[in-house]
Each structure stands twice: as C-alpha cells, then as structure tokens.
Amino acid sequence: MTYLYNDPVEFADELIDGFVAANKALVKKVNGGVIRAARTPDSQVAIVIGGGSGHYPAFSGLVGPGLAHGAAMGNLFASPSAQQIYTVAKAVNSGSGVLFTYGNYAGDVLNFDQAQARLIAEGIPCRTVAVTDDIFSASLAEKHKRRGIAGDLAVFRAAAWAAEGGASLDEVWALADRANERTQSFGVAFSGCTLPGASAPLFTVPEGRMAVGMGIHGEPGIDELDIPSAHGLAELLVESLLEARPASISSPAGSRIGVILNGLGSVKYEELFVLYGSVARLLEAAGVVIVEPDVGELVTSFQMAGVSLTLFWLDAELESAWTAPAYAAAYRKGSVTAQLAAEEGDSQAGAEEQDVMALASDESQAAGVAVLASIRAIKDMVDENVDELGRLDSIAGDGDHGIGMQRGATAALIAATDAAERGAGAGSILQRAGDAWADRAGGTSGALWGLALNAVAASVGDESKPTATDVAAGVSAALAAISQFGKAQLGDKTMVDVLSPVADSLGESAVLGLSTGESWNLAVHVAADAAAATSDLLPKIGRARPHMEKSLGSPDPGAVSLSLAIAAVAKVLNTSTQEASK
Ligand code: ADP
Ligand code: MG
C-alpha cells in the first residue's frame, strides 16, 4: 500500500511540487511537467520525455544534462495531456526542434501525436520515437505494438547524446530510433501495487508465483511460474533475451552491450545485486562484453514487486551515448561540465500564454446557454454513472473510465462556465471545455473527448447561431479527428462504434431539414443501439486489447458513456427549443 498521502486526487501534483523543491538547482516546474533549470543552448534539439506519474525516476528524475530537456508528467499511470506535452515542448525548444521519446502506450501515443501536430502547425519541427523494448508485449511481427519499459533509458541516452553533440533533428531521431531497435527488455512480477488512497491493489499475482512478461501496469504476461531462485530467474531472463536479440546481431559472442537490471518498486537493491551477479556471469559465459551496467530503480510502479532485464546492443556511436556523462536527479554518470544552476537571465522561460477570449456575436452567445447546459448535463450523467463506467472498464480494461470521465467533465464544466461568464460564443465555450477535458481527464478517452469537443467547436464557431447542419458537420469532424489520432476502425469495440452511426444519423436528419433537437432525439436511439451492440465485439485497440475475450458479452465503456452523453445533450436541446418557442 501507499502510506503517505494527503488527498489522493492531488497526489500527482503534490509529488511534482515536492520533487521540484528538492531539486531546485536541476529542474524547474512548468505547466504540465518539469524542465531543466538551464536554458536549452541555441541550435540544440530538445528532448522531451514523459508519461504517467507513479514510475519514478521515470520521468522527472531523468531530466538534466545527458538526459532529457523536459518531462511531461501525467496523472498517476495516465498519459499527460497534449496540452501539457505541448507546454513542456515549447518551454524547452531553442528553435532547433523537439524530439519526443516515451514508452509506447496508446494514451501516450495519442497525446504526444496531438502535441506534435500542434508544434508542427506552428512551424516547430518535431519527431517521435516511441520506445518498444518489452519483447513479450507483442510478437516480433507486431513490434510497433510492443510497450516501453526500462529500455526507455537507453533510447533517452542516445537521443540526448546526439542532441548535445549538435546533431540535427533528423540525426537525433535516427540515433534514437536505432537505439530503440537495439534495446530489448523482459520483465517478471511477483505482486501488484496499490495506488494512494485505493483500498485494493490494481492487480495481483498469486502468492509464491511469478507473472512472466507482465507489464508495469499489470498488463497480462505470457506465462505464470513458481518463483525460481535468483540464479534460476537470471537464466530465464538472459537466455530469453539472447535468443530474442535483434536480427542485426548474428551472435552474442563478441557483442558489447549496455545492461539495465531494473527493480520495479519493492524488490530491494540487495536482491537485485544477487540477481545481477548471476546475470553478469551468464552474459560473460555467452561471450558478451558488458559496458557500464545499471542496477537499480529506473522505471518503477509504486510498490510493485518485480524486475526487468534490458540488453542494449551497442555499436560505436551508441556506446559513446551510453557511457556519456549525465547529471539528472535520479541518474548520474561521469563528470558533467554543463551549467546546472540557472544563471540570472539564463533560465528557461515558461510558455505562458495570454488568455484572450474571441469576440462572439449575440446569437452565438445566446446559443452558448444551451452548450453550457449540455456540458452540465454530461457532467451530471457522468457523476451518476461513475461506478458503472468504472465497472465496465474493469472487465477488460483498467477500471478508470468512470473517474477519468468525471475528472474530464468536471474540468470541462468549470472552463465552460468561466468562458460563458466572460461572454464567449458557443464555439469558444466548447473549445475551452474540450481543452480542459483533455487536460484533466487523463487516459485515452480524455484525449479523444478533447479532440471531439474541439472539432464541434470549430464547426459551430462564434459568429452565427449554430444550425443543425453545423452541429452535424462538427460531429462528423469529431469522428474524423478521433479516427485520425486513435486509429480505431468501426468494429474495433470503441467509442467510434457509437460516434460513427451518430454522425451519419445527424447528417441525414440535417439533410431532411430536421431541427437540432429532433435530430438529436433520433440520434439517441441510434447511439443506444450501437453501444449495446458493442457487447458482441472483440476489442482490437487500446488498453483492453490483451484481455480480448473477457469483454465478450459486455459493452465497451467508452461507447456506453458516449451514448449516455448523447441522451443527456438531446434532453437539453429539446428543453431549450421548447423554451425558445414558448
Ligand atoms: P484508458 O483506455 O486510457 O484507460 P478510458 O478508460 O477512460 O481510457 O477509456 C476507455 C475507452 O476509450 C474505451 O472503452 C474506448 O471506447 C475508448 N478508446 C480507447 N482507445 C481508443 C481509440 N484508439 N480510439 C477510439 N476510442 C478509444
Ligand atoms: Mg481505462
């Protein structure tokens, strides 16, 4: 369990504040995460890492010379929002572009991709290497679906070394990508972890047993065995990783490798050293030359008991990167001459933006009343269904859909109310709501809801009274945005299975000349049927994927919450039209 916390909801924010207070010479806080205290030198590509909080030293502990320029930090085990990532990237960009590198998880990919699109649209070059070192998380043929675990460090080191050596963004990307191709990890787990304030562990492993290949958030592995001796475990890890080595390595003998033996939280250093003794002997017996091994905690999951072994197959450049000096809060190597404490005038400027509300017409301001009421109705619906949505998500996912939607809808209502009070039009109210939702909800669905609300906002605008056609076009644009970033297709068992028929239905109603209220009434039935029909589908995407068959017979949580939201909005639209015609 977690012993020390205040309000569990504030835990992630409070840990960032404390971390920054403890490392003032090294890092500064910005909205969304932390950045190096010293400014990124001109003409240096900035390396931005990130992910959910709760994995220290990943990610804030890996910010500093020889490692990242900034880390975007999400809520506990939840991706940072696109807005957070964007803010961190803007704060560290020196004008030479930004490399994003992070562990390959659906929510992170979605949010980093959005932030990347936004930077590129502003003329800031940005590229991405999502780390895929966990060899048991997907087959070699589906390597792009593999997760990132402790091998993140090898890729971060390669990227940072190239950037600090003055390489261009394309060159930095190429070296980081090569490091990823040559980094492989294998993890085992003995017990799960309990998040602050939670009454039960997020996942469990039976007493005396070991989950083989299990992910750091409890994603299922490939096998379960009795816990072997330390030497027995070393044999399993080393043999599997040598066997699975990258295709470009013809034989382990003579190869030079960086080694990371990572403890996930409650396996102690003493145990790690006992294990490492065997790992080193076995690798040396295979003829491998070990270069500067790291034994310790590099990616954790609270008190999760488990270890992972990473082999980083070096070449000359990657070895220079791996052995280069570094000075971050949680990772120090060699001697760094780079400036640490920020001199006056040399510190990173935060990317603070002025909050200016766009001018709105009277009709659009008036339409904003129904928009605000709709957002309030969605929030009330989520509050009422928070437990049920969580339960549906726990069948095959991670159980956070209720609380994620609640965080998102609550933040959206606060932002929308503020915008409306400041005279915003319907479009701006929706846009503020969408940004706040994406920023606070966490999870995949939060990012997608943010995109959806922004798409509707763009179509509705702040100039005229939104017509049924504008709204229908906005919902179609929302579907396009969600499909583009989430990459789910119809039938993959996601919210797309509801949004797609709803977009069609609203489009048809608009062509027939129905009012917005009438159109949405028809869409309510389409949505409810489509959500129910997801029970028969197998998930093909997102967090639920590895638990495929468990979810047969239950509807997709994101599809259900969307259909309930459509019903809530339809009710508001019909009440407000009745009132308007009175
Ligand atoms: P997370 O999956 O990150 O825990 P939530 O639990 O809040 O996020 O939301 C899960 C829901 O998000 C799923 O039920 C599904 O409807 C939706 N979802 C997940 N991934 C995608 C995707 N790639 N495209 C569309 N919808 C998705
Ligand atoms: Mg979930």
- Measured from the Cα of 562, ligand 1's closest atom is 16
The pLDDT of residue 341 is: 46
CA-nearest residue for atom 14, ligand 1, is 558
Percent of the chain with pLDDT over 70: 95
**Distance set, CA 12 to CA 31, 44, 260, 281, 442 (Å):** 13, 30, 27, 40, 12
Comparing 162-166, 180-184, 287-291, 443-447, the range with the smallest average pLDDT is: 443-447
Is 354 a residue whose pLDDT tops 90? no
Q: How far, in Å, from the CA of 106 to the mean position of ligand 1?
A: 9
Q: Assess whether 371 and 230 both reside in one domain.
A: no
Q: Assess whether 88 and 198 both reside in one domain.
A: yes
- Average pLDDT of 447-466? 95
Q: Assess whether 28 and 157 both reside in one domain.
A: yes
Q: Which of 336, 351, 372 is the last residue of a domain?
A: 336
In a domain, 149, yes or no: yes
**Which amino acids are annotated catalytic?**
217
- Measured from the Cα of 559, ligand 1's closest atom is 16
- Where residue 559 sits, what CATH number does that domain have? 1.25.40.340
- Where residue 133 sits, what CATH number does that domain have? 3.40.50.10440
Q: Any idea which ligand is nearest the CA of 397? A: 2
Kindly tell me the sign of the dihedral angle through the C-alpha atoms of 231, 234, 238, 239. Answer: positive
| Bond from prior residue into 186 cis (ω within 30 degrees of 0) | no
- Average pLDDT of 303-312? 97
Q: Assess whether 451 and 319 both reside in one domain.
A: no
CA-nearest residue for atom 22, ligand 1, is 486
In a domain, 346, yes or no: no
For 26-54, write each residue's pLDDT tens digit: 999 999 999 999 999 999 999 999 999 99
Indicate if ligand 1 lies below 6 Å from the C-beta of 364: no
φ and ψ of 300, to 5 deg: -120, 175
Indicate if ligand 1 lies below 6 Å from the C-beta of 432: no
Percent of the chain with pLDDT over 90: 85
The pLDDT of residue 353 is: 54
The pLDDT of residue 462 is: 95
Indicate if ligand 1 lies below 6 Å from the C-beta of 392: no
The pLDDT of residue 548 is: 72
The predicted model scores a pTM of 0.79
Write out the E strands in 172-325.
Answer: 183-191, 209-212, 223-226, 256-263, 289-296, 305-313
Q: How far, in Å, from the CA of 445 to the mean position of ligand 1?
A: 5
Strand partners, 301: 303
Indicate if ligand 1 lies below 6 Å from the C-beta of 219: no
Q: Assess whether 83 and 49 both reside in one domain.
A: yes
For 104-135, write each residue's pLDDT tens digit: 999 999 999 999 999 999 999 999 999 999 99
The pLDDT of residue 66 is: 96
Q: Assess whether 297 and 374 both reside in one domain.
A: no
In a domain, 416, yes or no: yes
Is 544 a residue whose pLDDT tops 90? no
Name the pLDDT band for 297 (thresholds 50, 70, 90): very high
The pLDDT of residue 343 is: 44
Indicate if ligand 1 lies below 6 Å from the C-beta of 470: no
The pLDDT of residue 582 is: 44
Name the pLDDT band for 344 (thresholds 50, 70, 90): very low
Q: How far, in Å, from the CA of 158 to the mean position of ligand 1?
A: 32
- Measured from the Cα of 446, ligand 1's closest atom is 7
- Average pLDDT of 143-147? 94
Q: How far, in Å, from the CA of 557 to the mean position of ligand 2?
A: 8
- Measured from the Cα of 483, ligand 1's closest atom is 24
Q: Which of 287, 321, 336 is the last residue of a domain?
A: 336
As a whole number of angstroms, the distance between CA 392 and CA 408 comes to 18
Name the pLDDT band for 363 (thresholds 50, 70, 90): very high
φ and ψ of 212, to 5 deg: -100, 120
As a whole number of angstroms, the distance between CA 312 and CA 297 comes to 17
φ and ψ of 197, to 5 deg: 80, -10
Among 282, 47, 345, which residue's Cα sits nearest to residue 167?
47
Q: Assess whether 321 and 375 both reside in one domain.
A: no
- Identify whether the C-beta of residue 490 lies closer than 8 Å to the C-beta of residue 503: no
Q: How far, in Å, from the CA of 255 to the mean position of ligand 1?
A: 42
Which of 105, 401, 566, when mutated, tests ligand 1's pocket best, judged by the most ligand atoms within 8 Å of its CB? 401
Number of domains in the chain: 2
What is the pairing mode between strands 183-191 and 209-212?
antiparallel
Q: Any idea which ligand is nearest the CA of 78? A: 1
The pLDDT of residue 576 is: 63
As a whole number of angstroms, the distance between CA 425 and CA 358 comes to 8
Pair of tokens at residue 292? 């500067």
Q: How far, in Å, from the CA of 544 to the mean position of ligand 2?
A: 8
Indicate if ligand 1 lies below 6 Å from the C-beta of 451: no
The pLDDT of residue 356 is: 79
Q: How far, in Å, from the CA of 327 to the mean position of ligand 1?
A: 37
Indicate if ligand 1 lies below 6 Å from the C-beta of 397: yes
In a domain, 351, yes or no: no
In a domain, 287, yes or no: yes
In a domain, 352, yes or no: no
Q: Assess whether 177 and 293 both reside in one domain.
A: yes
3-class secondary structure, 322 = helix
For 246-278, write each residue's pLDDT tens digit: 999 999 999 999 999 999 999 999 999 999 999
Q: Assess whether 319 and 443 both reside in one domain.
A: no
For 189-215, write each residue's pLDDT tens digit: 999 999 998 888 888 999 999 999 999
Indicate if ligand 1 lies below 6 Å from the C-beta of 560: no
Indicate if ligand 1 lies below 6 Å from the C-beta of 444: yes
Q: How far, in Å, from the CA of 395 to the mean position of ligand 2?
A: 10
Is 349 a residue whose pLDDT tops 80? no
For residue 98, what are the contacts with CB-CB under 8 A and spacing of at least 6?
45, 46, 47, 48, 89, 92, 119, 124, 125, 126, 169
- Identify whether the C-beta of residue 486 lies closer than 8 Å to the C-beta of residue 448: yes
In a domain, 348, yes or no: no
Q: Assess whether 61 and 121 both reside in one domain.
A: yes
The pLDDT of residue 218 is: 87
For 460-518, write each residue's pLDDT tens digit: 999 999 999 999 999 999 999 999 999 999 999 999 999 999 999 999 999 999 999 99
Among 352, 246, 258, which residue's Cα sits nearest to residue 298?
258
The pLDDT of residue 317 is: 97
Q: Which of 336, 352, 379 is the last residue of a domain?
A: 336
- Measured from the Cα of 79, ligand 1's closest atom is 3
The pLDDT of residue 345 is: 46
φ and ψ of 259, to 5 deg: -125, 135
Q: Assess whether 386 and 317 both reside in one domain.
A: no
CA 571-495-442 angle, 5° bins: 95
Side-chain half-sphere of 117: how many Cα atoms within 13 Å?
A: 11
Q: Tell me which residue range forms the domain holding 369.
A: 362-581
In a domain, 216, yes or no: yes
- Measured from the Cα of 404, ligand 1's closest atom is 7
Mean pLDDT for the chain?
93
The pLDDT of residue 442 is: 83
The pLDDT of residue 1 is: 82
**Distance set, CA 342 to CA 16, 37, 87, 161, 338 (Å):** 19, 5, 20, 21, 11
Indicate if ligand 1 lies below 6 Å from the C-beta of 106: yes
Indicate if ligand 1 lies below 6 Å from the C-beta of 497: no
Q: Assess whether 118 and 59 both reside in one domain.
A: yes
Name the pLDDT band for 301 (thresholds 50, 70, 90): very high
